[in-house]
Amino acid sequence: MYALWAGRLQRAVAAAFYFIGKLFLLNFAFGVVTATRVVGLYPPLISSSLDPNCSLTVFTSSLSHLSLGNHDGDGPAVLPVVIASRLWIFRIFRNKVTEEEILKDKEAF
């Protein structure tokens, strides 16, 4: 009995590692494609067909120092709100929905 359970566990772990490996390779491939496109377009990222001076370049598409400073302050201020909302959502959806609850609800499909 233990050998059967251990074999199933090994297959489940192997399948999980296989899936994670494939997911990593897919993300890596997307990253390589994105990096290739950005390097190929450097410095104009989006070229203007009307006026070449209005093209969006690497240098003109970035934020100013003032905006970056504002974002440095916004991150630590907003992070507790995001964490609290995620904990609240987790608390709401922590239980499984039973068939009786669905049948009692008049608005359920």
Residue-wise pLDDT for 12-54, tens only, equals 999 999 999 999 999 999 999 999 987 887 888 888 899 988 8
The answer to whether the beta carbons of residues 22 and 31 sit under 8 Å apart is: no
Q: Read off the DSSP letter of residue 60.
A: T
Q: Which whole number is the average pLDDT over 53-72?
A: 86
The average pLDDT across 55-68 equals 85
Do 39 and 2 share a structural domain?
yes
Domain check: are 84 and 53 in the same one? no
The pLDDT mean for the chain works out to 88
What total number of domains does the chain contain? 2
Same domain (yes/no): 68, 45: no
In this prediction, residue 2 carries a pLDDT of 66
In this structure, what token pair is assigned to residue 70?
Answer: 């504002």
- 89 & 107 share domain: yes
Show the domain range for 55: 1-62
Question: Which of 60, 34, 36, 65 minimizes the C-alpha distance to 47?
Answer: 60
Judgement on whether residues 51 and 95 belong to the same structural domain of the protein: no
Tokens of 96: 């499984």
Alpha carbons 17 and 28: distance in angstroms, whole number: 16
29 in the same domain as 2: yes
Does the pLDDT at position 86 exceed 70?
yes
